[in-house]
Amino acid sequence: LLSRRQRQMCIRDRINILFAGRFVPQKGIPVLINIIKRVDEKVFYFHIAGKGPLEEIILQELGNKSNVRITPPIFSLAQYLSSFDYVFIPSEHEGLNSLSIESSINKVPVIINDIDGLNETLPQNYPLKVKNNCIDEYMTLFTDVIPTIDRVSLIDSVYQYSCQKFDIQQMQKQYELSLIHI
């Protein structure tokens, strides 16, 4: 169950988007700032959780925005993911991204930069990804796609995909089969 504080984090009548990560360039902080400055403040509310060397820039650029809450890292984040409507991951490079997998398993769609590692956590035809962190493509997602998307179908497809692809027994079996071919 969510604590009273966590339930109060999300804003009613807005699409609540979480960015959770280190405040470093490779996590796409410049893109995050750019997008937040462009989206409709009456439609989207961003929860930015983390810490790092770009924290001061985030505070300077977004600290006075009416649709942004900046907090320290959220510990045990997985148990709070379902509080949010979407998770935004504009990373420049990643390994296999656990936040994307945890979001899908918790039935929260992610909005991503289509990069190796990150794109491997979602179905190939996933509609909420952009190439090269393209601001125009993100804006199309935020203005045209996200407000009208069939979230129930999207959630179902990413949940099923994650449960099948990242099932521990299935992963172990694939690993063992790969050892046979060495």
* Amino acid identity for residue 67 in this structure: N
What is the pLDDT at residue 143?
A: 96
Whether 74 contacts 49, CB under 8 Å: yes
pTM: 0.87
Determine the average pLDDT of the residues in 136-162: 95
pLDDT band of residue 58 (cuts 50, 70, 90) is: very high
Tokens of 162: 């994650």
**Do the bridges between strand 68-71 and strand 86-89 make them parallel or antiparallel, or are there none, so unpaired?**
unpaired
The better pLDDT of the pair 181, 55 is held by 55
What is the pLDDT at residue 128?
A: 98
pLDDT band of residue 181 (cuts 50, 70, 90) is: low
